[in-house]
Amino acid sequence: MNLHEYQAKRLFAEHGVPIPNGEVAHTPAEAREIAERLGGVIVKAQVHTGGRGKAGGVKLGRTPAEAEAAAAAILGMDIKGYTVGKVLLDELAPGIEQEIYLAVLIDRANRRPMIMASAAGGMDIEQVAEETPEKIIKVHIEPSLGVRSYQSTYVASRMGLPKELWRDFHKLLTGLYSCFNANDASLTEINPLVITGEGKLLAVDGKMTIDDNALFRLEKVAAMRDVAEEPDAERQAREAGINFIKLDGNIGCMVNGAGLAMTTMDVTKLFGGEPANFLDIGGGAQAEQVAAALRIILSDPNVKAVLINIFGGITRGDEVAKGIVAALGQVETEVPMVVRLAGTNAEEGMAILADAEMETAVTLSDAAQKAVKLAQGDN
Amino acid sequence: MSILIDKNTRVVVSGITGREGSFHTRQMIEYGTNVVAGVTPGKGGQIFEAGDQKIPVFNTIQEAVESTNPNASMIIVPARFAVDAIYEAADAGIPFITCLTEYIPVLDMIEARAYLDAKGARLLGPNCPGLLTPGEAKIGFIPGSVAMPGPVGVVSKSGTLTYEVIDALTRLGIGQTTCVGIGGDPINGTDFIDVLKLFEADPDTEHIVMIGEIGGNAEEKAAAFIKEHVTKPVTSFIAGRTAPPGRRMGHAGAIVEGKSGTAEGKIEALRAAGVPVADNPDDIAKIVAERMGK
């Protein structure tokens, strides 16, 4: 789960990372009130996507009137498909001497949390990583030891940070790692971490991704989920225990297992089709989940054909068939479907579907080709 | 011959009395697996019946070890108890632990993996379908009906996609030595290279099928290892060519971040190591058959 900037920074601050004073506004009037209290501010769109600055979602508000106008311009703006519903107003940093990149993330290959830092922080960090990888400093953290003082000294020294800031930098880095650990993050990122005109470190922007598997023990963080930003279909799927991601094509896919679901998309594309979604009904799905999955797929008006591919192991073919029949009883649809059941109780499942007038297939290739044809409308 | 398990492997099941645990334990016993004990805290002293077999249930793995001497464990308990069950099995000296449970937090697995390495215990999973040696034994979910004994070793990150591939091999009359599902979590126990080493050393494995997916760099590392150390032919498939970047495709590890972890990068690395990569899983069995001269 991704957090908004203001949520991430508040969590950072709980662990001693210095952040600017700031407040969230939902209306231009609120923005004006906040700016009256804080003085000169920067107004920033709060959406779950990068590139806000380039899209015009970040503006200066030197006076309350300017802050109000900036908020009015940003609220409701569309940034990469996300509608801006709130803005963060942050006190302006007292001058910016330098922009640093600092992150703690999980390095899968080394099975350790890792510090990533660069003296060349700011908007173009991806370009820095690609063109001058030697400017990115990487240090692994041993979980039982935490961030040791010599490690922060190494990072600070390699970045050429002024010596009088090393102590503060160690405190900040230790705080960032403690925030990472306490909240089961897979990423905590400060970009930029600035050295202000007063020679102090300040986390001006923040990004945080939480491990979904740990949300059960993170009550406070779990409550930060922005349901307003989550598309309806994805929320319904999450509540039904289904993995669903909407895509731009017209062939709805329902599959059991993540690997097979991705493969079904790949094979559909291989035969010239465009998948409308990724959907994994999970292991051991019951009829109700299957019915929910089919309803979610059919709620997408782009869907011109549905491809159902189930290889039974824990999941049983007859349960899936019952779910399909149940869903067809609830939703009126003209959308043609191809179903392929294999593995556990596949024959029983096919018998249940015999009356449903659905096209059937034996192999995945066969099913995908039929679905592509149906979506093109020449059946 | 086979790797990791055979009909003599003595298995203890953590979570044997649960809904999923009891169902799959019965399937394993029916397949011929030698399940010697079960563990459910608070249910010690009960007997788990499967057909005509009576399996003793213990409160802890330590007690199961003291009376039944298992050498492998299967963990099928809810996520919040699973990490503890992994530590418990390793602490009791079980050398091979399979954890089927999904949704274990990554930071917990980082610590658990370090502990297992220090103990010298091998973990398969978590969030994996387990493994199966055709005609002998299985631990986990892989349906016995799709497999048959033969010369191909199968290793995969996926569950159902693996059944699909095993089934296709079997239908062409190509059997398997052992089929191993390593799971798709970001931090796991056994990886591709561990299994490739075992297949390379197994005299009965003549051909290896490796099924990967987007995310991480395990396939790239495996490709480098194959180039240097594997003399047997390897055929591969990578799932997720059409997955959009930045979105997690079900498995916690199946996410393309920036340029790393893409299907193209993995396919390129494997082809450069002399490994044919099928475009379609239906073709894997055909490629294997061709390369084996069938």
- A245 with B249: Cβ contact below 8 A: yes
Last residue of some domain: B90, B124, B158?
B124
Interface test with B, best of A184, A213, A253 (most B CBs within 10 A): A213
| Chain A CB contacts of B211 below 8 Å | 259
- B148 and B117 inside one domain: no
Question: Is residue B130 a part of any domain in this protein?
Answer: no
- B59 and B95 inside one domain: yes
For residues B110-131, average pLDDT: 96
Nearest to A262 among B79, B249, B253 (CB): B249
- B207 and B251 inside one domain: yes
Q: What is the pLDDT of residues A102-134, one digit of tens each?
A: 999 999 889 999 999 999 988 778 788 888 888
Q: What is the pLDDT of residues B184-226, one digit of tens each?
A: 999 999 999 999 999 999 999 999 999 999 998 999 999 999 9
For residues A23-41, average pLDDT: 96
- B107 with A143: Cβ contact below 8 A: yes
For residues A198-227, average pLDDT: 94
Tell me the pLDDT band of B1, cut-offs 50, 70 and 90.
Answer: confident
For residues B160-176, average pLDDT: 94
For residues B64-81, average pLDDT: 97
| Chain B CB contacts of A2 below 8 Å | none
| Chain B CB contacts of A212 below 8 Å | 103, 252
pLDDT higher than 90, residue A210: yes
Helices (H) and strands (E) in chain B, counts: 9, 13
- B23 and B94 inside one domain: yes
Nearest to A313 among B141, B239, B244 (CB): B141
Question: Is residue B1 a part of any domain in this protein?
Answer: no
| Chain A CB contacts of B162 below 8 Å | 259
Instruction: Sketch out chain A's domains with CATH numbers.
Output: 21-91 (3.30.1490.20), 96-222 (3.30.470.20), 232-376 (3.40.50.261)
Tokens of A173: 């880095």
Q: What pLDDT, on the 0 to 100 scale, is given for residue A50?
A: 80
DSSP lists the bridge partners of residue A344 as none
Q: What is the pLDDT of residues A345-371, one digit of tens each?
A: 888 898 888 877 788 998 999 999 999
What is the C-alpha separation between A334 and A304, in angstroms, rounded?
9
Find the CATH number of the domain harbouring B38: 3.40.50.720
SS3 call for A184: coil
- B252 and B160 inside one domain: yes
- B158 with A258: Cβ contact below 8 A: yes
In the numeric block, the tokens 């995945």 are attached to A364
- B89 and B52 inside one domain: yes
- B163 with A343: Cβ contact below 8 A: yes
Tokens of A209: 């991704």
| Chain B CB contacts of A184 below 8 Å | 105-107
Question: Is residue B135 a part of any domain in this protein?
Answer: no
What is the C-alpha separation between B240 and A266, in angstroms, rounded?
7
Q: What is the pLDDT of residues B76-120, one digit of tens each?
A: 999 999 999 999 999 999 999 999 999 999 999 999 999 999 999
Question: Is residue B74 a part of any domain in this protein?
Answer: yes
For residues A188-209, average pLDDT: 96
How far does A146 lie from chain B, in Å, by closest CA? 12
Q: What is the pLDDT of residues A233-288, one digit of tens each?
A: 888 898 888 999 999 999 999 999 999 999 999 999 999 999 999 999 987 777 88
- B107 and B183 inside one domain: no
- B281 with A144: Cβ contact below 8 A: no
What is the C-alpha separation between B225 and B228, in angstroms, rounded?
5
Do B273 and B226 form a contact (C-beta atoms < 8 A)? Answer: yes
Q: Which sequence positions of B are flagged as catalytic?
A: 251
DSSP lists the bridge partners of residue A305 as A251
Interface test with B, best of A145, A247, A253, A266 (most B CBs within 10 A): A266
Nearest to B106 among A213, A216, A257 (CB): A213
Interface test with B, best of A80, A82, A111 (most B CBs within 10 A): A111
Host H or E run for residue B22: helix B19-31
Give me the number of domains chain B comprises: 2
| Chain B CB contacts of A214 below 8 Å | 105-108
Find the CATH number of the domain harbouring B249: 3.40.50.261
| Chain B CB contacts of A278 below 8 Å | 243, 247, 249-250
For residues B35-46, average pLDDT: 97
- B90 and B223 inside one domain: no
- B90 and B218 inside one domain: no
- A213 with B103: Cβ contact below 8 A: yes
pLDDT higher than 70, residue B259: no
- B242 with A311: Cβ contact below 8 A: no
Q: What is the pLDDT of residues A91-101, one digit of tens each?
A: 998 899 999 99
Question: Is residue B94 a part of any domain in this protein?
Answer: yes
Q: How many CB pairs under 8 A join A and B?
A: 168
- B272 and B164 inside one domain: yes
What is the C-alpha separation between B195 and B207, in angstroms, rounded?
13
| Chain B CB contacts of A143 below 8 Å | 107, 110-111, 114
Last residue of some domain: B89, B124, B159?
B124
Q: What is the pLDDT of residues A270-285, one digit of tens each?
A: 999 999 999 999 877 7
Nearest to B239 among A247, A259, A275 (CB): A259
Cα dihedral B190, B193, B197, B202 sign = positive
Q: What pLDDT, on the 0 to 100 scale, is given for residue A335?
A: 93
How far does A138 lie from chain B, in Å, by closest CA? 16
Taking phi over 0 as left and psi of -120 to 50 as alpha, with beta for the rest, A80 belongs to left
Q: CA nearest A315 in B: which residue? A: B160
Interface test with A, best of B31, B107, B127, B238 (most A CBs within 10 A): B107
* Nearest partner of A33 among A75, A3, A68, A78, judged by Cα: A68
Q: CA nearest A364 in B: which residue? A: B282
pLDDT higher than 90, residue A324: no
ipTM of model: 0.91
* Residue range(s) defining the domain that contains residue B225: 142-291
Q: What pLDDT, on the 0 to 100 scale, is given for residue A379?
A: 46
Tell me the pLDDT band of B294, cut-offs 50, 70 and 90.
Answer: confident
- B119 and B16 inside one domain: yes
CA distances (Å), origin A134, targets A28, A100, A138: 44, 15, 10
Taking phi over 0 as left and psi of -120 to 50 as alpha, with beta for the rest, B240 belongs to left
CA distances (Å), origin B157, targets A38, B11, B81, B82: 52, 23, 23, 20
Nearest to B160 among A259, A269, A365 (CB): A259
Q: What pLDDT, on the 0 to 100 scale, is given for residue A312?
A: 82
Q: How far is CA B194 from the centre of its chain?
A: 11
Question: Is residue B63 a part of any domain in this protein?
Answer: yes
For residues A139-168, average pLDDT: 96
Q: What pLDDT, on the 0 to 100 scale, is given for residue A69?
A: 97
**Residue B254 per-residue DSSP state:** -
Last residue of some domain: B124, B159, B192?
B124
How far does B66 lie from chain A, in Å, by closest CA? 31
Q: What is the pLDDT of residues B228-245, one digit of tens each?
A: 999 999 999 999 999 887
Question: Is residue B65 a part of any domain in this protein?
Answer: yes
- A260 with B160: Cβ contact below 8 A: yes
Sheet with B34-39, strands from edge to edge, namely B47-50, B53-58, B34-39, B10-14, B72-75, B96-99, B122-124
Nearest to A269 among B239, B242, B251 (CB): B242
- B102 and B159 inside one domain: no
Do B215 and B191 form a contact (C-beta atoms < 8 A)? Answer: no
Q: What is the pLDDT of residues B4-40, one digit of tens each?
A: 999 999 999 999 999 889 999 999 999 999 999 999 9
Nearest to A143 among B110, B129, B213 (CB): B110
| Chain A CB contacts of B253 below 8 Å | 108
> Which one is catalytic: A30, A66, A99, A189?
A189
Q: Does A101 participate in catalysis according to the annotation?
A: yes
pLDDT higher than 60, residue A378: no
Question: Is residue B137 a part of any domain in this protein?
Answer: no
Count CA atoms closer than 13 A to B21's CA, side-chain side: 24
